[in-house]
Amino acid sequence: MKPRIFLLLFLTCFVDAFAQSNKATESDSLYREDQIYIGVTYNALMNLPNGVSQSSFSTGFHLGVIRDFPINTRRNLAIGLGLGYSINTFNQNIRISTTTPTTYTILEGIDHSKNNFSQHLLEVPLEFRWRTSNAETYKFWRIYTGVKLGYVLVSKSVYKGEPGDETHRGLKGMNPWQYGLTLSVGYNTWNGYIYYGLNPIFDSVSSTNFQSIDMNALKIGLIFYLL
């Protein structure tokens, strides 16, 4: 994840410089805001079954483009519709084995050094946008709220421990569609970001102790915008 963080910091500096120069030349009333986004999040699992816990630091990396459609004369209210890509990892103690059928075992008293599952998603964000901007101001407050629909392109689980390592791709029990509520709030370059998943990550599967696995995702982090 470190290379992604360094890339994100570099792009943040570029975003700020680019936004200032672009705003300086944008003086008409047809400007649009925040049409490229880059974000990094901490990923948490909600509604954990008994005995399930997260371990280590679970991360997400997000980027995409959003077309900005102002809906008032001042152009500080807008609808945003876009397309993005997201990579998410969840470190936890459910071991996934792709036997027939796929099994989900809560790791209790088993020595292991790594256990996680990950997703690569194609996403469609839809936002209602409020901001204090105009064509000459590049530093402004913003509140963007909406929904995000994601489709899982790639899924993978990794286990390293006793009695042997396992890596599986194309997890059959994972819900291919993920959707949730989003909120971005901030000033200038730095903006807080929250995503709350409205549906379970896994689709009607149970662990070996016969509990339903209805976990959903909560992602909290930072998001950066440029025009």
Q: What is the average pLDDT across 22-36?
A: 64
Say yes or no to pLDDT of 109 above 90: no
For the whole model, what pTM was predicted? Answer: 0.84
Q: CB neighbours of 83 closer than 8 A, spacing ≥ 6?
A: 64, 65, 122, 123, 124
Q: CB neighbours of 12 closer than 8 A, spacing ≥ 6?
A: 38, 189, 224
Which residue would you say has higher pLDDT here, 97 or 200? 200
- Sketch the domain layout of the chain as residue ranges: 111-117+145-177+204-209
Which residue would you say has higher pLDDT here, 41 or 19? 41
Q: Is 95 exposed, middle or buried (0-12, 13-18, 19+ CB in 10 A)?
A: buried
Say yes or no to pLDDT of 27 above 80: no
Contact 133, 63 (CB under 8 A): no
Q: Which of 10, 60, 63 is nearest to 40 (CA)?
A: 60
